[in-house]
Structure 1
Amino acid sequence: MAPTFPAFLCSLLLCAAGVFGQAYDPSKQLSVGIILFPGFQPLDVIGPLDIIMMLSASHNVSLAMIGKEKGPVRGPSPPRRNEPPTAYPVQGPSVVATHTFADAPRLDILLVPGGMGLRVLNENNDTWIPDFIASRFDELQYLLSVCTGAAALAQSGVLKGRRATTNKASWAWATQFGNGVNWVPTARWTEDGNVWTSSGVSAGIDMTYAFFKKLMGVAAANRIMNAIEYTPHVNEHWDPFSVVHKVPGADASRPLGECVGPAGFEFECS
């Protein structure tokens, strides 16, 4: 007899006990927060959020979308100084902020996306994001950033003495922030203690897969990747876009292509 849809979904997302990583206690709620600001890069948020949504079908996960104000937050960036409005997209999604930095709940995991809006905040000396990171860091189990979100982490001071990476196309801008940060030009993502950072945009999905694979176990993470039909890059140490965007320290002798396939399956590259 074919399984019912709920049973199939439970199997797909690994509801069975005994498969979680050692770092995760399935009896406790995992509180996740994602930062939003006008001009966030949509895939920086939506990519990891899709994985978290799938996890919530079988894991005890709560989610807070955190903005400066509650309500819809637009993906298209406000205009920057000395640049024409035509330099920026005018269409894009909005995501609803359910909390502000003032009333956000206790968090186990905080994810900070990138996007052009971070540059606007910086130009206007608006430090609410790095201030929030600094104020919450000691209570977090994990802090993650995608793309130029690493710049906000650096501004907060939490990257001092740590390895980190960021968007390769925006390398020069993002890496100007922070003191004592070991910026890794060729990394797809980095893990240093409880701080994870990724390269640009789609790299956030690769990092999120690697993160939950370590936190909750290989089998659970693999099933989610295959459920969303995403083939993850699994080499954290190599991002070919470091060559594409001419990042200082990039190794131009390495192959730019990478063989990827379904998570947890053997495959051949033709």
Structure 2
Amino acid sequence: MNEAGPIEDFGYMVHPTIVATHSFGNAPALDVLLVPGGIGNVALEQANNTSVEDFIRQRYPKLDYLVSVCTGAGSLAKAGVLEGRRATSNKGAWDWVTKQGTNVTWVPSARWVVDGNIWTSSGVSAGIDMAYAFMSHVYGADDQALIDTMNGIEYAPHLDAHWDPFSVVHKVPGADYNRNLTDCVKPVGY
């Protein structure tokens, strides 16, 4: 995002009422930076646009937490902040993501990975699972607002960070094929 204003995606208006109030150049100080994934990462790469990676690289030293969902981990890797760290990403895009960056220990069967102050997750639903774990880390698992939110959206999070069944579904090299593909989850706080 190189300027404030209506959000566009390669010349197409994403939504005319969503207006960015800051650009990468004038964004305020941040405690937490969440880097989303999606096909936009590949489009940025094809356009030789490194603005996301440049922003991550510049801001990371002052962040309390750096969090990515899905292929957003590819941006973290390209920014160099995953060097010497463990991380995971979307299992359906595993081949592309794991070619980003250097000296990253990609964890194939993880739903999400925490390495220091960097949190990375697999696909979008794993991102919700990670968000629950992250908010539990920050506010405590017994935080009533967190419980109310999860139950309000009727979402039962997958709580095992070390097991992502989609590593088996997508045949990710190194996936743990000895784990059961059946997960039993229950509402938060019950």
Q: Provide the TM-score with structure 2 as the length reference.
A: 0.91
Partner of 1:197: 120
Partner of residue 79, structure 2: 156
Hey, what's the Cα distance between the residues in 1 that align with 2:183 and 2:48? 40
What is residue 216 of structure 1 aligned with on the other side? Answer: 139
Matches of 2:117 and 2:147, distance apart in 1? 22
Alignment partner, residue 51 of structure 2: 128
- TM-superposed CA distance for 1:143, in Å, is 0.2
Letter of the 2:128 partner, please give it.
I
Q: Distance in 2 between matches of 1:187 and 1:96?
A: 35
Query: Is the contact made by 2:30 and 2:63 (CA closer than 8 Å) also made in structure 1?
Result: yes
Larger RCO, structures 1/2 (Cα 8 Å, 6+ apart): 1
Structure 1 match to 2:160? 235
Structure 2 unaligned segments of length 5 or more: list them: none
Q: How does 1:2-21 map to 2 (within 5 A)?
A: none
Q: Which residue is 1:257 aligned to?
A: 182
Q: Counterpart of 1:73?
A: 7
Where does 1:35-184 land on structure 2 (aligned, <5 Å)?
Answer: 67-73=1-7, 95-184=18-107
Q: CA RMSD in A?
A: 2.0
Evaluate the alpha carbon distance shift between residue 102 and residue 233 of structure 1 in structure 2; reply closer, same or farther with a 3 A threshold: same
Contact 1:190 1:196 in 2 (8 A): yes
Total equivalences in the alignment: 187
Task: Please identify, of 93-102 and 194-203, the stretch whose mean Cα deviation from structure 2 is larger.
Answer: 93-102
Larger Rg: 1
Equivalent position amino acid for 1:240 in 2 = P
Q: Which runs of 4+ in 1 moved over 2 A?
A: 67-74, 92-98, 221-224
CA distance in 2 between partners of 1:122 and 1:139 (Å): 26
State the TM-score, normalizing by the size of structure 1. Answer: 0.65
* Equivalent residues of 1:213, 1:222 under 8 A apart: no
- Any conservation in 1 of the 2:109–2:174 contact (CA below 8 Å)? yes
C-alpha distance 93-262 of structure 1, shift in aligned 2 (>3 A): farther
